Amino acid sequence: MIQKQYFGTLTGHGEVFSYLLRNQSGMSVRILELGGAIMELKVPDRIGRVADVVSGYDSLRDYMLDTTYFGALIGRVANRIANGEYTLGGKSYSAFVNNGPCSLHGGKIGFSHRIWSVKPIDGEEPRLILALHSPDGEEGYPGNLEVTVTYTLLSSNALSIHYEAKTDRRTPVNLTNHAYFNLGGYASGTIFDHVLRIDADRYIPTDGDLIPTGEIRSVKGTPFDFREPKTVGRDFYTDSEDLRLAGGYDHCLCFTDGETREPTLRMEAYEPNSGRLMQVYTNQPCVQLYSGNFLNNAEHPQKGGYPQIPQTAFCLETQKMPDAINREQFDDVILSPDEIYDYTTIYKFSVR
């Protein structure tokens, strides 16, 4: 079932709504028109108790002023572009610099802060089809881009996110969702005891501004090796220059064998107290593992007044490599008019 609910009024736009999707298996998700944000995601634990496992806000104002990208859809280009500059087809472009010396998550007003049109389709597996038009030149990106994101709440207690995009000119595109997870419940403390497995054999080091150095390293013998399950906290305080520069995990991990045709099981996160298990399927080639190092904005507490506290949530942002537009050895993030950007990520929940 789907319930449309008023959430607030935005100057120059009018009323803004959220959409609550429920299935018959005890799971629900609430999506906001602003940024297509996942506002809440409720799933049962091993004894059937339901908790909200994603970070979010109680007010539209907080989402408008948000700099953490809680649950939001990210585009045109997720992650960082060094100096906001790139060259395409012999022409230089400048994206808005909004994070130190780089353009982050789409620039000044990325997809995360736009109002998406929403088409709800009710049924046993309810879904929302969100659409957005990004005009030629917006945020320094060429071409008109038509984006469609479909959220589907599956009866198997999984949330599917299907991304599609088309353009009339060659343009960089790298879409993701920026949900922050804590499987014990968003207000349950740090995520250090979460057991994480990621099928990634390489990672991308960054400099002090979190911009890729251009190197792609093996995870073997590093804190970034999650090929065998381990807790997030096990190697968090390891004497690692990469972790020190980022204040924790905030790195792109490259999946073994890269991009796949169909969504493939790539990651698992398990919270032992609740027994909740989240499995992540995707056909994207990489994931940005982020341990919530910058959750420190005291002016914008989370739902219920819960404060922002570093390392109380983690992100698994499936995507292509950061700053790839400036790195020949990185993923191709250029979408051409004769192509369709087409990726799916599925977050599946169960218990142990």
pTM, 2 dp: 0.97
> What digits encode the pLDDT tens for the residues 328-340?
999 999 999 999 9
Q: Which of 138, 139, 271, 317 is catalytic?
A: 317
Ramachandran category for residue 90: left, alpha or beta (phi over 0 → left; psi -120 to 50 → alpha): left
β-strand partners of 50:
44
Amino acid 8: pLDDT: 96
Active site residue 339: no
Cβ–Cβ under 8 Å, residues 170 and 58: no
Cβ–Cβ under 8 Å, residues 266 and 288: no
β-strand partners of 19:
4, 31
* C-alpha dist (Å) from residue 342 to 56, 176, 262: 27, 12, 10
Cβ–Cβ under 8 Å, residues 70 and 58: no
CATH topology of domain 2-351: Beta-galactosidase; Chain A, domain 5 (2.70.98)
Distance of CA 322 to the CA centre of its chain: 13
Cβ–Cβ under 8 Å, residues 160 and 154: yes
Return all residues near 220 (Cβ < 8 A) that are at least 6 apart: 201
Active site residue 317: yes
Amino acid 12: pLDDT: 85
> What digits encode the pLDDT tens for the residues 50-100?
999 999 999 999 999 999 999 999 999 999 999 999 999 999 999 999 999
> What digits encode the pLDDT tens for the residues 272-307?
999 999 999 999 999 999 999 999 999 999 999 999
Q: Which of 105, 113, 178, 194 is catalytic?
A: 178
> What digits encode the pLDDT tens for the residues 187-239?
999 999 999 999 999 999 999 999 999 999 999 999 999 999 999 999 999 99
β-strand partners of 22:
28
> What digits encode the pLDDT tens for the residues 246-266?
999 999 999 999 999 999 999
> What digits encode the pLDDT tens for the residues 152-193?
999 999 999 999 999 999 999 999 999 999 999 999 999 999
Residue 203's φ and ψ, nearest 5 degrees, are: -140, 165
Domain ranges in the chain are 2-351
β-strand partners of 287:
253, 318
> What digits encode the pLDDT tens for the residues 103-136?
999 999 999 999 999 999 999 999 999 999 999 9
Return all residues near 109 (Cβ < 8 A) that are at least 6 apart: 139
> What digits encode the pLDDT tens for the residues 13-39?
899 999 999 999 999 999 999 999 999
